[in-house]
Chain A
Amino acid sequence: MIALFIIGLALHGLNLILPALLRDSRRLNIACNLLNAGALLCGLIFSLSALLAYQRVEYRFAVPSTGSVVIGFDGLSLFFLLTFQLLSLAASLYAIGYLPHYIERGLSVRGHLWFFTLLIVSLQLVAVVQNALVFLVVWEFMALGAYFSIVFERTKEQVRRGGFWYLVATHACVLLLYVCFLVLHEVTGSWNFDDFARHAAYEPKTLALVLLTGFAGFGIKAGFMPFHVWLPNAHPAAPAHVSGLLSAINIKAGIYGIARLMMILPAQEAAYGWGLLAVSLISAVLGVWYALAQHDIKKLLAYHSVENIGIIGLGLSVAWLGRCYALPELVVLGFAGALLHTLNHAIFKGLLFFGAGNVYLHAHGGNIEKMGGFARVIPLTAVGFLVGAISICGLPPFNGFVSEFIIYKSFFRAADLLHGYAPLLLLFAAVGLAFMGGLAVACFTKLYGIVFLGQNRAGVAARRQGEPGSSSIVLLGLASLCAIIGIFPDTSLRLVGPALGELTGADQTAAEWVSPIGQLQIVFLLFLALTVVIYGVKVWLQGRTVVRLAETWGCGYTAVTPRMQYTASGFAAELVQLGRPMLDFAVQWTPLQSVLPVARAFHSHCHDRMENGWLLLNRGIGRLLGALRWIQSGDIRHYVLYVFAAVGFYLLCALVW
């Protein structure tokens, strides 16, 4: 079976030279993405069959200077590999229909496709490489691939800016990871993850350093608050297939890193668990609150990624607490919730971003205030987006509910098993999750209602337009995955089974703890049956009476125009204002003065306080370093003097010691 994986990689390799061979951009786009899709299909078959008939496999390669390098396919790696491949497949197929719009405008896709392939390949390798050195190399390739994929339309200032945010974030991330892995190497004398795991006697201080740098490093990639600032800048800058990939799986590489660290390092301090819980809860609640204030469809979705990363973090922190207090049940529930939400979020966030891409094409921009009535223009996208919106709110019977349910369950079990004030804290976490759910409903009813329902606010007549075939297939495919995982949770629980078994050691009990959740399908099927019956009654009754169309009731006012509809800002305004101490919500307007007023403008904008904080920090550091700028005088004689001074200093040191 491993042959399939290697075939997949080889096909990707072929893809890396393809852009040099094919001249025609359109054909190159189709060929390149189809080849990627074929490669990913091979890989997907491999990882799926490996997970279903699970057997731990690992390959050791002797490399001269670093010792052996391990490529391992354990439960966790395979699960993330599957997630990465699934969404890369969707993104490749989507790009076939999406990129021609850029080609029409004369942009060259040659380099873009090369880096896009690089991103996909390195993402897969990140999941399976179990050697810190090689991991860091592959990680850097992933970062590079992602950066160059983001700055596709590099003539736009906003794109360059977003790309720069990504570049800075990924450098900060990798810097912290260097520290983390170097310390681990110093302590254990090896670069392999399994040697890190085997080393039992970590000193508390070393462990603290490793955990803090590791969590912070991977946390930057994952987008936990306050490190999330690159997401809302980079995601809108990228073309839809890339932003889908970034949000769905690139940030999940950070989650993979945190999960891997939790697996290989001994859990001793519960404080990290509680800390992670707090950070995750803040990310989740504030993420969705910030999302509510956005007018740009992609920026809104990017903030929702922060929210979902927070939810995943909640599961991970319960798992950590379980390991600290030696309660395997909590480990299983927490990890199951986190991993499943990783997969689920990847699916529905991919779906939403690809849907947003179609919206973007038809609206020629991302400002949702100028949209409306798109359900009539792009109906398939509307259906897919609706499924994605329900799923991301965690509503039954779609997949978001299943993973959030497991996380709630892990809270409840933790409240049972832990003592002292822990149950109280967990109750607050559960309420936080519920509060966040309410905000998510507000946010997605706003997004869906404003974009797809009602009438077009820009005054464009609704006329059904063609949606690219490949994008419809991708959207409906992902939407049906949301439904399948949601209604039959058993399917996805089988995929996390191997990882859970490895975490706790015993496969049997792990399955027992989560399997009851698999039975939820009876409930969902019953609910669907009820819905179908009632809908049948409605159709039957309406068949016996008259059904006709009429204008919307305007409460007596007859000169209604589409611009009088409720706007996105209006819909969310008061909720946003209620979050004011945390959200920097600013409005600018001039009041109407005379009896016959002239045109006035009203602007509202929500600044990210944390982004401002980072910029302020950056400016402070810049000013500090600016004070030392006189050293770089530009005069050659000064530099010669520096060289002499340095040599003299070293000689002096050599004399003294």
Chain B
Amino acid sequence: MVKLSSDPLSWLMCALFFAAAPLLTGIINKVKARLSGRFGPTVWQPYYELLRLARKETVYSTSAGFISRVAPVLVWCTIAFAALLLPLGRPAAVSFPGDIILFAYLLALGRFFQILAALDVASSFEGMGASREARFAVFAEPIFFFTIGSLAIVTRRYSLDTVFAEISWRDPLFFVFVSVGVLSLFFLVSAECSRMPVDDPNTHLELTMIHEVMILDASGFDLALYQHAASLKLLLYSTLAALMLNPFGVFGPAVGALVYLATLLGLAAALAAIETLMARFRLLLVPQFLLFGTAIGILNILIFTFSRQS
């Protein structure tokens, strides 16, 4: 029932996944810099930052209790464990029917501790960020379930390991379903990974931040964990979108990997372009933006079901 993959490559892919996460962030930053006419730091910059942080001293707030000390670990572990559920060319490291639920709930557990850690230090700025994170997560949850969840119901596979394998490019209906699904997931990425137009990762005003303001008081290895977790989360959701196209099932492992990487790069470029060209939405507009993502998801599954019926 619960399958722990016996294929060492599955676990190796996960390790590679963890290692490669900051690179995606680095690439996005690089593309952004070039688009705005700067040269920008190298794509390896996030690695240097992580190393620097891991070596630095840690400062805890005098108001902080045990939550601030365990939260970075839990935030990282929930996201990392969610990554184990993804099939990266090989069977997923951990899989069981219904692991879609575990995926969503693990990320919610991470968010739970992230929010608590923000409230732990008695700062009004961080409380503000925590409130926003909680609010937007409420609207992001349905998007996930209307894309991955409805894919599961349509294919009757309830494990992330197998749900994507059912996607075929030949069925035009599926094609529509998948392409709209990728769009919904793109909405999800912007909300869950604190990207534009929901959150501006580069802003310098605490009042306008969401994710960055919640980790204002984190430092040293704790901050490194948060930063790596954030980039891991971005890679995680981008991978979900890339897997919707089922590259490994359609093209086989070697070409599939290339297609997968190309999709990731495409998403990164799209994110970078949006962040260069657009401003962040007003915070009051964000729920509407996310509800729009949900509405797309609902329409998508409705169209699919009705055309299947007729």
Report which A residues bind B (CB closer than 8 A): 372-373, 375-376, 390, 393-396, 401, 404-405, 408-409, 412, 415-416, 420-421, 423-424, 426-427, 430-431, 434-435, 437-439, 441-442, 444-446, 448-450, 453-455, 516, 519-520, 522-523, 526-527, 530-531, 534-535, 538, 541-542, 545-555, 560, 562, 564-566, 570-572, 574-575, 578
How many Å from the CB of B124 to the closest CB on chain A? 5
Bound state CA distance, A545 and B118, in angstroms?
23
Q: With a CB–CB cut-off of 8 A, which chain A residues contact B105? A: 394-396, 401, 437
Give the contacting residue for B116; candidates A445, A547, A549, A572; CB below 8 A: A445
Q: List 27 A-B contacts (CB under 8 A).
A: A395-B109, A404-B101, A408-B101, A409-B101, A420-B309, A434-B142, A435-B141, A438-B137, A439-B138, A441-B134, A442-B137, A448-B119, A453-B119, A453-B120, A454-B127, A519-B2, A531-B74, A535-B73, A548-B57, A549-B60, A549-B62, A550-B59, A560-B124, A562-B122, A564-B124, A566-B128, A566-B130
Q: With a CB–CB cut-off of 8 A, which chain A residues contact B109? A: 390, 395-396
Say yes or no for B248: interface residue by CB 8 A criterion: no
| Known contacts A535-B73, A541-B221, A450 near B119 by CB under 8 Å | yes
CB atoms of B77 and A427 under 8 A apart: no
Q: With a CB–CB cut-off of 8 A, which chain B residues contact A542? A: 58, 220-221
- A575's nearest neighbour on chain B, judged by CB, is B135
CB atoms of B119 and A552 under 8 A apart: no
Bound state CA distance, A390 and B64, in angstroms?
20
Bound state CA distance, A415 and B301, in angstroms?
14
| Known contacts A549-B62, A550-B59, A571 near B108 by CB under 8 Å | no
| Known contacts A553-B216, A555-B206, A435 near B2 by CB under 8 Å | no
Bound state CA distance, A586 and B258, in angstroms?
56
CB atoms of A441 and B70 under 8 A apart: no
How many Å from the CB of B52 to the closest CB on chain A? 12
CB atoms of B149 and A430 under 8 A apart: yes
Q: With a CB–CB cut-off of 8 A, which chain A residues contact B134? A: 441-442, 445-446, 571, 575
Residue of B116, B121, B124, B309 with highest tally of chain A CB at under 10 A: B124
Bound state CA distance, A412 and B152, in angstroms?
8
Q: With a CB–CB cut-off of 8 A, which chain B residues contact A551? A: 61-62
How many Å from the CB of A316 to the closest CB on chain B? 20
Binds A, one of B40-48, B90-98, B262-270: B90-98
Give the contacting residue for A527; candidates B77, B96, B104; CB below 8 A: B77
Q: With a CB–CB cut-off of 8 A, which chain A residues contact B73? A: 531, 534-535, 538
Given contacts A434-B141, A530-B77, 12 further A-B contacts (CB under 8 A): A408-B98, A420-B309, A430-B149, A434-B142, A435-B142, A520-B2, A535-B73, A550-B59, A552-B64, A553-B123, A555-B206, A575-B138
| Known contacts A571-B131, A574-B131, A545 near B58 by CB under 8 Å | yes
| Known contacts A441-B134, A553-B217, A545 near B74 by CB under 8 Å | no
| Contact indicator per residue, chain B 82-122, by CB within 8 Å of chain A (1) or not (0) | 00000000000010111001101110110110011011111
Q: With a CB–CB cut-off of 8 A, which chain B residues contact A376? A: 65
Give the contacting residue for B141; candidates A437, A454, A516, A535; CB below 8 A: A437
CB atoms of A527 and B122 under 8 A apart: no
| Contact indicator per residue, chain B 221-234, by CB within 8 Å of chain A (1) or not (0) | 11001000000000
Bound state CA distance, A445 and B119, in angstroms?
9
Q: With a CB–CB cut-off of 8 A, which chain A residues contact B1? A: 516, 519
Q: With a CB–CB cut-off of 8 A, which chain B residues contact A412? A: 98, 152-153, 158
Say yes or no for B145: interface residue by CB 8 A criterion: yes
| Known contacts A541-B54, A565-B127, A427 near B62 by CB under 8 Å | no
Bound state CA distance, A538 and B74, in angstroms?
12
CB atoms of A527 and B81 under 8 A apart: yes
Bound state CA distance, A642 and B127, in angstroms?
70
How many Å from the CB of B34 to the closest CB on chain A? 32
Bound state CA distance, A430 and B101, in angstroms?
10
Report which B residues bind A (CB closer than 8 A): 1-2, 4, 54-67, 70, 72-74, 76-77, 80-81, 94, 96-98, 101-102, 104-106, 108-109, 111-112, 115-116, 118-128, 130-131, 134-135, 137-142, 144-146, 149-150, 152-153, 156, 158, 206, 216-217, 220-222, 225, 284, 287, 301-302, 305, 309
How many Å from the CB of B154 to the closest CB on chain A? 8
Bound state CA distance, A564 and B149, in angstroms?
41
Q: With a CB–CB cut-off of 8 A, which chain B residues contact A574? A: 131, 135, 284
Give the contacting residue for A538; candidates B118, B128, B222; CB below 8 A: B222
Q: With a CB–CB cut-off of 8 A, which chain A residues contact B142? A: 431, 434-435
Residue of B63, B140, B222 with highest tally of chain A CB at under 10 A: B63
CB atoms of B56 and A372 under 8 A apart: no
CB atoms of B67 and A453 under 8 A apart: yes
| Known contacts A441-B112, A546-B58, A570 near B127 by CB under 8 Å | yes
How many Å from the CB of B291 to the closest CB on chain A? 9
Q: With a CB–CB cut-off of 8 A, which chain B residues contact A526? A: 4, 81, 94
Q: With a CB–CB cut-off of 8 A, which chain B residues contact A523? A: 2, 94, 96, 102
| Known contacts A445-B116, A552-B62, A552-B217, A516 near B97 by CB under 8 Å | yes
CB atoms of A449 and B140 under 8 A apart: no
Give the contacting residue for B59; candidates A405, A549, A575; CB below 8 A: A549
Q: With a CB–CB cut-off of 8 A, which chain A residues contact B131? A: 566, 570-572, 574
Bound state CA distance, A548 and B140, in angstroms?
37
How many Å from the CB of B131 to the closest CB on chain A? 5
CB atoms of A396 and B102 under 8 A apart: yes
CB atoms of B138 and A565 under 8 A apart: no
CB atoms of B112 and A396 under 8 A apart: no
CB atoms of A415 and B58 under 8 A apart: no
Bound state CA distance, A423 and B301, in angstroms?
11
CB atoms of A423 and B153 under 8 A apart: yes
How many Å from the CB of A571 to the closest CB on chain B? 5
* 9 A-B pairs closest in CB distance: A566-B127, A449-B119, A454-B122, A442-B134, A438-B138, A546-B57, A516-B1, A438-B141, A445-B115
Bound state CA distance, A395 and B57, in angstroms?
32
Bound state CA distance, A450 and B284, in angstroms?
23
CB atoms of B61 and A549 under 8 A apart: yes
Bound state CA distance, A552 and B119, in angstroms?
11
Residue of B56, B104, B115, B134 with highest tally of chain A CB at under 10 A: B134
- B120's nearest neighbour on chain A, judged by CB, is A453
Q: With a CB–CB cut-off of 8 A, which chain B residues contact A565? A: 122-124, 127
Q: With a CB–CB cut-off of 8 A, which chain B residues contact A395? A: 105, 108-109, 112
Q: With a CB–CB cut-off of 8 A, which chain B residues contact A431? A: 142, 145-146, 149
CB atoms of A415 and B112 under 8 A apart: no
- A521's nearest neighbour on chain B, judged by CB, is B2
Q: With a CB–CB cut-off of 8 A, which chain A residues contact B217? A: 552-553
- A445's nearest neighbour on chain B, judged by CB, is B115
How many Å from the CB of B239 to the closest CB on chain A? 19
Residue of A423, A453, A526, A570 with highest tally of chain B CB at under 10 A: A453
Give the contacting residue for B305; candidates A424, A548, A555, A560; CB below 8 A: A424
CB atoms of A552 and B121 under 8 A apart: yes
Bound state CA distance, A544 and B74, in angstroms?
21
Q: With a CB–CB cut-off of 8 A, which chain A residues contact B74? A: 531
Bound state CA distance, A50 and B19, in angstroms?
53
Give the contacting residue for B119; candidates A434, A548, A566; CB below 8 A: A566
CB atoms of A552 and B76 under 8 A apart: no
Bound state CA distance, A426 and B156, in angstroms?
13
Bound state CA distance, A527 and B141, in angstroms?
22
Q: With a CB–CB cut-off of 8 A, which chain A residues contact B206? A: 555
Bound state CA distance, A560 and B62, in angstroms?
13
Q: With a CB–CB cut-off of 8 A, which chain B residues contact A555? A: 125, 206, 216
Q: With a CB–CB cut-off of 8 A, which chain A residues contact B111? A: 441
Q: With a CB–CB cut-off of 8 A, which chain A residues contact B98? A: 405, 408-409, 412
Bound state CA distance, A538 and B101, in angstroms?
29
| Known contacts A427-B301, A434-B141, A449-B116, A550 near B94 by CB under 8 Å | no
Q: With a CB–CB cut-off of 8 A, which chain B residues contact A578? A: 287
CB atoms of A375 and B62 under 8 A apart: no
CB atoms of A547 and B119 under 8 A apart: no
Bound state CA distance, A549 and B138, in angstroms?
34
